[in-house]
Amino acid sequence: MKVRVLYHDKCFDGACSAALFSRFYQERIHRDVEIAYTGLVHRAGALFSEEQFDGDENAVVDFKYCSSPKVTWWFDHHLSAFLTPEDKAHYEQQQSNTKFYDADFRSCTKFIAHIAERRFGFNAEPVKEVVEWADIIDGALYADAKTAVEMREPAMKLTMAIEATQDPEFIPKLIPYLAHMPLEEILQQPFVAELIPPLMERHWKSIEILREKSTEERGTIYFDVTDYDLEGYNKFIPYYLHLNAIYSVGLSRSSFRTKVSVGSNPWAPTDQFVNLATICERYGGGGHARVGAISFPPNRFDEARKAAQEIVQELRDSVSASPM
């Protein structure tokens, strides 16, 4: 029997969600199975292909809903979990015991642990470290920007490797380790350890690039790094460089998309924020209330830049209008 697990690619929570689901499935559903992994990315156009669902069971975790009858399991926690009203209606009408959604969870990993424990009798204690760190990282629960950027913890170094890798086999190889091994030991595995020194060097260089390319005005940072290979930069660097900023909007480019990243400072001197997922949805993107993104085809750079500049203006206006 084969289970295909499709997860949010280049994302620590996505990889951990795949790992936790796999362990849960093998312990509580079917032990003797082959599990294969496929990373999914937000891009312009269709997010899924029916050919991807080649398992006897197919699970999508930490990613948007898919109404294909081949998808048998689904877990997500994003506000923008449904591409269309029809997808949302399809989910609600199914009343499935294997498809779950709750936007109140900061991480999908913790959501899967919660459902697996309460509905299926799964013991999540052996993967407690992974669950806690997925929640910290996806929920941006760091003490300060310095902690988030200086990358001292094993989980943060693994996050850096996951977000920066260009090797399509790296994360599928890593996922089983996340399900069964302490993070410090994973970091010492040769296929992981060899990546860290050059990635740390790249990380420090990315700080200097963002220092040069970012500007802050009326509480909102804007930067354009489309001239650099920087899509996997640490998303907290803007707040490390501009401590009192409230929002950031960044433009980056890769081979398959031009990306507008929209975020809010977890340590901002305010508790009043606009919903960034709602803003991103207007441009075909989505995310969470405090962080979101929009993907454009790589040949539509001008459209992406226009969207980024419009969002910057909207956020700056919202800061100017908000009592501090």
CATH number, position 306: 3.10.310.30
- Summarize pLDDT for 4-20 with one digit per residue, the tens: 999 999 999 999 999 99
Domain limit, last residue, from 193, 224, 242 = 193
Q: Which domain, by its residues, includes 166? A: 2-193
Same domain, 167 and 22: yes
Identify whether 313 is part of a domain: yes
Residue 198 lies in a domain: no
Query: In terms of domains, do 56 and 184 share one?
Result: yes
Shared domain check, 234 and 137: no
Instruction: State the angle between helix axes of 128-138 and 12-28 in degrees (0 to 180), rounded to the nearest 10.
Output: 150
pLDDT tens column, 195-219: 999 999 999 999 999 999 999 999 9
Q: Please give the average per-residue pLDDT across 237-266, as a whole number.
A: 94
On whether residue 133 sits in a domain, the answer given is: yes
Q: What is the pLDDT of residue 54?
A: 97
> Is residue 7 domain-shared with residue 127, that is, in the same domain?
yes
Both 98 and 173 in one domain: the answer is yes
Give the residue from 193, 222, 246 where a domain finishes. Answer: 193
The amino acid at 29 = I
Q: Per the structure, how many domains does the chain have?
A: 2
Same domain, 177 and 220: no
The model's pTM:
0.82
The pLDDT-based confidence of 46 (bands split at 50, 70, 90) is low
Does residue 150 share a domain with residue 113? Answer: yes
Do 122 and 16 share a structural domain?
yes
The type of residue at 128 is K
Residue 127's Cβ-count burial label (10 Å; 0-12, 13-18, 19+) is buried
Q: Kindly tell me if the per-residue pLDDT of 280 is higher than 90.
A: yes
